[in-house]
Amino acid sequence: MLKSFELRYGMNPHQAPAMVRSRQGELPFEILNGSPGFINLLDALNAWQLVKELRAATGLPAAASFKHVSPAGAAVAVPLTPELEKSYFVEGMELSDVAVAYVRARGADRVSSYGDLVAVSDTVDASLARYLKLEVSDGIIAPGYDDDALEILRQKKKGRYLVLKMDPDYAAPETEVREVFGIVLEQRRNDCVVSDKLFDNIVTENKDMPEAAKRDLLVATLTLKYTQSNSVCFAYDGQVIGNGAGQQSRVHCVRLAASKADMWFLRQHPLVLDLPFREGLSRPEINNAIDGFLSDDLTEVELQYLQDLFTSMPARMSKEQKKEWLRTASGVSMSSDAYFPFRDSIDRAAQSGVKYVVEPGGSIRDDAVIEAANAYGMVMAFSGLRLFHH
């Protein structure tokens, strides 16, 4: 392994020279194919920490899809329903557990995952490699690769697909250092262990939290640990379904995450699953077509573009049809990286089927937030753990 190497440039092409180096000995990863960029490595190293911790917390193979240093999705290997197989374009495919984990992670927000950096907790096999061959992705980090999987990945992107092999035993220094504008900032690394013990302090009248909800809260909470703050994450059925990252207002985090979760549920509506796409469309074009079909505010130009993607333009879903379908959503888990200062976040979350909530607590309006959760029959736990990430 190398101790350091030069990068093509930094975050932008004009930011050169750029390099990467280890603070202690050799770098903990090998480059098996491709040439990493600055943002590639930011994504890879954050994503790896997420999947490694998610694997440890749940005991299940884990995967993440990262874009611009936040997860577009994360998931563990829970079997797919027939509706999800169709929604994720994997009908008839033989998928290993590690492949299922990534299919779910990418399925959280297929539009945002375009050109992602993939991370998986387990060895990459041919099943996952064959699936990745079908999707637009920039690279992957994993603890190992089967020979046939590596051969498939090395052919992707005309041989330029980034493949990183991470040392699973690597332990980072306790202290991390960052330099901004010539000023050095130093802090203890965020080495807190996220486990279901964080959900023990239930503060609502309803205290019934099933194991599936705890699993989903682990997925959401660990995702937040590596999401740019402020952030709120929705999870369901072992995967992220909406991640609201980088907002200045808590309720805007919830609105963003909830709107993505709504889109996730709507993509499984029978009308969407049976859309008559024009032959020859790529997967990204189909994803964009679905996104446009479900949007409420298209311009005439956008509508014309959308019409060209179908063999015949189907009748678009009305707002009432969408509301009726979304009313069937229930049992969603929501985690927040800091406390909710007002009840408005709970009110919005309830509209998207949220039943289980974890947040640090500590607001002067905790009583009002708990009252709102009680009004909706939610189960809310105060973790006492803030998870800001910048």
Residues recognised as catalytic: 67-68, 230, 390
Closest C-alpha to 112, from 274, 227, 278: 227
Q: What's the chain's length in residues?
A: 390
Cα 212 to Cα 114: distance, rounded to the nearest angstrom: 29
What percent helix, strand, coil does the chain show, rounded to 5? 35, 20, 40
The tokens describing 23, both together, are 């603070």
Cα 379 to Cα 287: distance, rounded to the nearest angstrom: 34
- Residue 369: CB atoms within 10 Å: 25
265 and 271 Cβ atoms separated by less than 8 Å = no
Report helix, strand or coil for 164: strand
Report helix, strand or coil for 18: strand
Whole-angstrom CA distances from 215 to 56, 199, 218, 236, 245 are: 12, 11, 5, 9, 21
